[in-house]
Homo-oligomer: A and B are copies of this chain.
Amino acid sequence: MQLNNIYNMTNTRHDCKKELRGASLKVTPARLGVLAALEQAQTPLDVSEIITYLENKGIKADKVTVFRIINALTDKGLTKQIQFNEGKFRYEHSRKADHHHFVCERCGKIEDVSNCNIDEVEKDIQKKGLLIKRHSLEFFGLCKDCQS
């Protein structure tokens, strides 16, 4: 079991254009911006956070466009959709997604949890005849700072 922040380990140079073309998606400024946002993010982002990122980079894209982009990326498997019981979705780049999260219920800080033995759990379930495609494992509680 490890706690760390996989988001810090991104290879900063990555060819987003290739990623899009490989998924049969046209390369557009908005799409490159969304991918960039998710690559540099320290935590999974919600749609409004993605929009803020785009604005700061001078990329203008309608909210609806961002929804459509993130849905397309998720359909193609480039991104993953997750939820933290907030009533909205968050997204992370698939390349960063082989881990789980700890969400502080007070300050909202998100820490990654990796190397847990969920894979074994999955194998056991598969034996029951179910085909598991993905799973979601999130922990909620108080981080060190918020326990005092």
Q: Which of B85, B116, B125, B129 contacts A1 (CB 8 A)?
A: B125
Contact string against B for A residues 128-145, beta-carbon threshold 8 Å, 1 for contact and 0 otherwise: 111111111111111110
Give this chain's copy count: 2
Q: Which of B85, B118, B135, B143 contacts A140 (CB 8 A)?
A: B135
Residues of B near A19 (CB, < 8 A) are none
- Bound Cα distance from A83 to B125, whole angstroms: 20
State whether B124 touches A116 (Cβ < 8 A): yes
Residues of B near A82 (CB, < 8 A) are 85
Least CB separation from A133: chain B residue:
B141
State whether A140 touches B130 (Cβ < 8 A): no
State whether B139 touches A122 (Cβ < 8 A): yes
